[in-house]
Amino acid sequence: MVDRAIPRPISAAFVAQERLKTALAATIVTFLLTSLIVGIETVSSTGELTFNTRFKEVFIVSIAVFFASLAVSHMREGRTGPALFGGGGVAVLLLALLILQYVFPVLTSFLPFQAPIINWGSLIVPTCICVRAAQIAAAERARAEGRVTVTERISKVTQPVFPWLGLALIILALALPWLPIGDRTTSKKVIDICTIVLTYIMLGWGLNIVVGLAGLLDLGYVAFYAVGAYTYAMLSTYYGWSFWICLPLAGVMAATFGVLLGFPVLRLRGDYLAIVTLGFGEMIRIILINWKVVTGGPAGINKVPRASFFGLPMERDVPDGVVSFSQFFGIEYNPNHRVIFLYYLTLFAALVVNFFTMRIRKLPLGRAWEALREDETACRALGINPTNTKLTAFAVGAMFAGFAGSFFAARNQFIDPQSFVFLESAMILAIVVLGGLGSQIGIVLATAVLIGVPELFRELKDYRMLAFGVGMVLIMIWRPGGLMAHREPTIRLHGKGGAKATAKPATKPALEGTGAVAAAE
Amino acid sequence: MTAAVQTGNGRHGNGVAPLLQVEHLSMRFGGLVAVDDVSFAAPPAQITAIIGPNGAGKTTVFNCLTGFYKPSVGRLTLNAPHGSFLLEQIDGFRIAQRARVARTFQNIRLFAGMSTLENLIVAQHNKLMRASGFSVGGLFGIGGYHHAEQEAVELAHGWLQRTGLTAKADWLAGSLPYGDQRRLEIARAMCTDPVLLCLDEPAAGLNARESAELNQLLLAIRNEQKIGILLIEHDMSVVMEISDHIVVLDYGRKIADGTPKEIRSDVNVIKAYLGEAEDEPLPDAVAADLSHSA
């Protein structure tokens, strides 16, 4: 509002009025949304539907949004005081209440919300506002005194850490089963969740090739995951084939489906491609439901064999003549062995996918994928075959989904079409977008946030998805490029840190139209 | 294959076969005739400019030449040192890949999210793809990919130096200033090792000094690389100074063809650009009106 060209000088009253208008609008929107979502909740009690009202919460949230909006408007104009002290004050007050309630139970009634986790969660907003205000204030002062800003100093310190972050995460992942993470049962559960997270990381890395590198928006990625899972499940259950034969076959099968999907949609771009891939995903799911003879229909496939330790089954009871893993090594049978083995297997497969992606990015094919994402027309003009380039991206991405599907089937021992609904595709896509298109480590962080955290907060059930949505919106506002938006060039002329490298990383200025309009006539 | 094609107007028939021979090229979009029976020739190692008012069909000719459109009628022959090609029968990207015709675009089309150097490496895709064993060898570090990539970087470095972009090699292409982007697009086209370079308004949006530098660059490319250049341009300071030969289009037809000196004095060209002189006296009523209001 302020930077709009207004012929007369803007009066303070006008600015205050605008600020108030924004705050009121935000409050009204908040009020409407919250009263529908949390304010009135239908609850089915014995035999009838009743309403569960929470008007206190709605009221508190609306008031909070009003003042927060005012504070943020002030902050935008450079007056950080209200945001700094207001946000900080509320945060400190809330924190004090939250801690002291354990000492004085009377204070519980002063807390804004009912669920403890939401009370703790609500601490985030004022803290964020306060930190942001402090950051702006510090940057302002630094600029005035001609020093480097705090953010720049922080990024200077953290920048060299990032390459090591990956290595540190790998070491952590390798050491995980040996770390003291509770007793037998809990550690088994944690490792199991980590296997799920790794599967999703693998899926994210696979989809990253299609969406992040090649720029082909695929909303039906879960179809390839399903193809891989069913290929493994059917071959191993019906024919008794070993995991190690089925795994590559599942990859090949999924890649074949990737090419099959790729061919008809080669000409499509953007939204149209997204719609077709979405339809493809649904088609696969519906075929799985209806082709009962082969896929088992809605009942799915039961008793899918587990992955064997390179031929040695990891079960307690094995048929006569077969040596099990524990017998071979002469150790006591422990179900944890199996879980840990599958964990390492998934970790290894995920690392292979990562290695492949890192490597292919520096090869002509990977560069052609990225070029295709940037401008297909220019690619044609340079003699790059867009058909082959797109198909390889589809096939490679699908192959990794196929591998992930095999691991999924081997872990669950049971698969049905319900595991491959659109929500899964959306989740994997959310991982890629949230992590930052094209960023490997970003995808790991995003998976941890999107899959790991909800697993930990299972008791919140319905609020989980709400928080998920809010989180996504906030990320898109603050970091539209994803958590890790920085793209490191695949090749450098001057080496790292040479010249004035990467002047503007995440931002892509709109090129087209700017110059062509001004063409000299 | 088809080396001895008759030249359109005998002017270039001095023993050297033209690099590019366009014969009876027509391009229709439904009822609209964008290019109507245009024939011209572009000699090797010379700069041929195509000029004409907006909407004359210049870019359509380029799109036909570079495989973005399939011409409705016409024969496009390229007599390159590495063989002869009938461009109208080769589709899309293969014209750039096999016939080695490179082009730039009116509205710059760089890979904005990639670095300047990466843009030039992508341009050498086909060469590098073979060197990497179609990714299989490169993936496992087998074969001469590393060496090939270093050569590609050297070639790119050479073109960065010639276009004055060496210091900005690791910048995002999208963050370069406008003039640099124009030059980078030419450098990228040159990295494909073309025999014919088609430039669509390379001087658009450049200031006088940048236009002069562009002239030097294009002349250097012509003299040193000995490749043919086809140039669409509105900036007459560029066209008249560096072209060896000019083709003028208007409403999809060729209205003139000759050296810059000939074109400058061509009646049809002046008519197309400035409009016709009033030959007939105005109708009485109009004349009266005009004098009245004056």
CA distance A39 to A454: 23
Task: Please tell me which of the candidates B67, B98, B174 has its beta carbon nearest to residue A511.
Answer: B174
HSE-CB for A283 with a 13 A CA cutoff: 12
Q: Which pLDDT value is given to residue A505?
A: 39
User: Under 8 Å CB-to-CB from B206, ≥6 apart: which residues?
Assistant: A520, B178, B179, B182, B214, B235
Helix (H, G, I), strand (E, B) or coil at A494: coil
Q: Which pLDDT value is given to residue A395?
A: 92
- Number of residues that make up chain A: 521
Q: Is the Cβ–Cβ distance between B190 and B225 less than 8 Å?
A: yes
Task: Please tell me which of the candidates B106, B114, B234 has its beta carbon nearest to residue A520.
Answer: B234
Q: Can you point out the beta strands (E) in A236-334?
A: none
Chain-chain contact of B188 with A382 (C-beta, under 8 angstroms): yes
User: What average pLDDT score do residues A475-493 get?
Assistant: 74
Chain-chain contact of B169 with A359 (C-beta, under 8 angstroms): no
Q: Chain A 334-363, CB below 8 Å of chain B: which residues? A: 356, 359-360, 363
ipTM confidence: 0.82
Q: What is the DSSP letter of A345?
A: H
B104, B129, B168: best to mutate for the A interface, most A CBs within 10 A: B129
**A491–B contact, CB cutoff 8 A:** yes
Q: Is the Cβ–Cβ distance between A318 and A286 less than 8 Å?
A: no
**Which residue in B232, B125, B116 sits closest to B183, CA to CA?**
B116
- Least confident range of A9-18, A176-185, A440-449: A176-185
Helix (H, G, I), strand (E, B) or coil at B256: strand
CA distance B118 to B128: 13
Distance from CA of A514 to the nearest CA of B (A): 9
Q: What is the pLDDT of residues B97-106, one digit of tens each?
A: 788 888 888 8
Q: What is the DSSP letter of B103?
A: E
Tokens of A321: 């003549």
Tokens of B131: 């060197």
B59, B62, B85, B109: best to mutate for the A interface, most A CBs within 10 A: B109
CA distance B34 to B73: 12
User: What average pLDDT score do residues B246-251 get?
Assistant: 85
pLDDT band at A225 (very low <50, low <70, confident <90, very high): very high
Q: What is the DSSP letter of A487?
A: -
Say whether pLDDT at B9 is over 50: no
CA distance B218 to B47: 8
Chain-chain contact of B134 with A507 (C-beta, under 8 angstroms): no
Chain-chain contact of A363 with B135 (C-beta, under 8 angstroms): yes
The domain made up of B101-193 is a member of CATH 3.40.50.1100? no
Distance from CA of B23 to the nearest CA of A (A): 23
Count CB atoms within 10 A of the CB of residue A36.
Answer: 11
Q: What percent of chain A has pLDDT over 90?
A: 7
Tokens of A194: 């980590």
Does an H or E element contain A495, and which?
Answer: none
CA distance A52 to A37: 11
pLDDT band at A11 (very low <50, low <70, confident <90, very high): confident
**A518–B contact, CB cutoff 8 A:** yes
Contacts of A386 in chain B (CB under 8 A): 92-93
Count CB atoms within 10 A of the CB of residue B173.
Answer: 27
Domain ranges of chain B: 101-193
CA distance B221 to B104: 15
Q: What is the pLDDT of residues B56-106, one digit of tens each?
A: 888 888 888 888 888 888 888 888 788 788 877 787 788 777 888 888 888
**Which residue in A194, A230, A190, A165 sits closest to A347, CA to CA?**
A194
CA distance A397 to A203: 9
User: What average pLDDT score do residues B168-187 get?
Assistant: 87
Chain-chain contact of B178 with A514 (C-beta, under 8 angstroms): yes
Q: What percent of chain A has pLDDT over 70?
A: 78
Contacts of B93 in chain A (CB under 8 A): 379-386
Q: Which residue of chain A is at minimal alpha-carbon distance from B141? A: A359
Count CB atoms within 10 A of the CB of residue B92.
Answer: 17
Dihedrals phi, psi of A283, to nearest 5 degrees: -60, -50
Q: Which pLDDT value is given to residue A417?
A: 87
Tokens of A191: 């490792």
Q: What is the pLDDT of residues A110-138, one digit of tens each?
A: 777 776 777 777 788 888 888 888 888 88
CA distance B281 to A424: 78
User: Under 8 Å CB-to-CB from A143, ≥6 apart: which residues?
Assistant: A149
User: Under 8 Å CB-to-CB from B294, ≥6 apart: which residues?
Assistant: none
Chain-chain contact of A382 with B170 (C-beta, under 8 angstroms): no
Written as one string, the DSSP assignment of A450-483 is IIIHHHHTGGGTHHHHHHHHHHHHHHHHH-TT-S
pLDDT band at A520 (very low <50, low <70, confident <90, very high): very low
HSE-CB for B85 with a 13 A CA cutoff: 25
**Which residue in A253, A249, A250, A236 sits closest to A313, CA to CA?**
A236
Contacts of B145 in chain A (CB under 8 A): 363
Chain-chain contact of B111 with A490 (C-beta, under 8 angstroms): no
Distance from CA of A384 to the nearest CA of B (A): 6
CA distance B12 to A379: 34
The count of CB pairs under 8 A between chains A and B is 192
Q: Which residue of chain B is at minimal alpha-carbon distance from A356? A: B139
**Which residue in A270, A248, A382, A195 sits closest to B128, CA to CA?**
A382
Does an H or E element contain A354, and which?
Answer: helix A335-361
Chain-chain contact of A491 with B122 (C-beta, under 8 angstroms): no
* CATH, domain A182-478, list 1.10.3470, 2.60.40, 1.10.357, 1.10.8: 1.10.3470
CA distance B18 to B14: 10
Distance from CA of B280 to the nearest CA of A (A): 30
pLDDT band at A105 (very low <50, low <70, confident <90, very high): confident
Tokens of A508: 């892509």
Say whether pLDDT at A283 is over 70: yes
A213, A367, A494, A514: best to mutate for the B interface, most B CBs within 10 A: A367
Chain-chain contact of B118 with A498 (C-beta, under 8 angstroms): no
Helix (H, G, I), strand (E, B) or coil at B287: helix
Q: What is the DSSP letter of B245?
A: E
Q: What is the pLDDT of residues A318-353, one digit of tens each?
A: 666 666 666 666 677 777 777 788 888 888 888 888
Task: Please tell me which of the candidates A356, A382, A519 has its beta carbon nearest to residue B205.
Answer: A519
Task: Please tell me which of the candidates A359, A365, A375 has its beta carbon nearest to residue B109.
Answer: A375
Chain-chain contact of B110 with A500 (C-beta, under 8 angstroms): no
Q: Chain A 369-398, CB below 8 Å of chain B: which residues? A: 370-371, 373-375, 377-386, 392
Chain-chain contact of A490 with B96 (C-beta, under 8 angstroms): no
**Which residue in B213, B225, B144, B220 sits closest to B182, CA to CA?**
B213
Domain ranges of chain A: 12-147, 182-478
pLDDT band at A518 (very low <50, low <70, confident <90, very high): very low
Helix (H, G, I), strand (E, B) or coil at B172: strand
Chain-chain contact of A380 with B128 (C-beta, under 8 angstroms): no
Helix (H, G, I), strand (E, B) or coil at B38: strand
Contacts of B111 in chain A (CB under 8 A): 370-371, 374-375, 378
**A516–B contact, CB cutoff 8 A:** yes
**Which residue in B114, B105, B127 sits closest to B192, CA to CA?**
B127
Backbone φ/ψ region at B30: left (φ over 0), alpha (ψ -120 to 50), beta: left
Q: Which residue of chain B is at minimal alpha-carbon distance from A494? A: B170
CA distance B67 to B101: 10
Q: Is the Cβ–Cβ distance between B253 and B271 less than 8 Å?
A: no
**A489–B contact, CB cutoff 8 A:** yes
CA distance A164 to A326: 37
Helices (H), A159-183: 162-175
Helix (H, G, I), strand (E, B) or coil at B8: coil
pLDDT band at A521 (very low <50, low <70, confident <90, very high): very low
pLDDT band at A106 (very low <50, low <70, confident <90, very high): confident
Count CB atoms within 10 A of the CB of residue A494.
Answer: 15
Share the mean pLDDT of chain B: 80
Q: What is the DSSP letter of B142?
A: -
Q: What is the pLDDT of residues B95-142, one digit of tens each?
A: 777 888 888 888 888 888 888 888 998 888 887 877 776 766 667 767
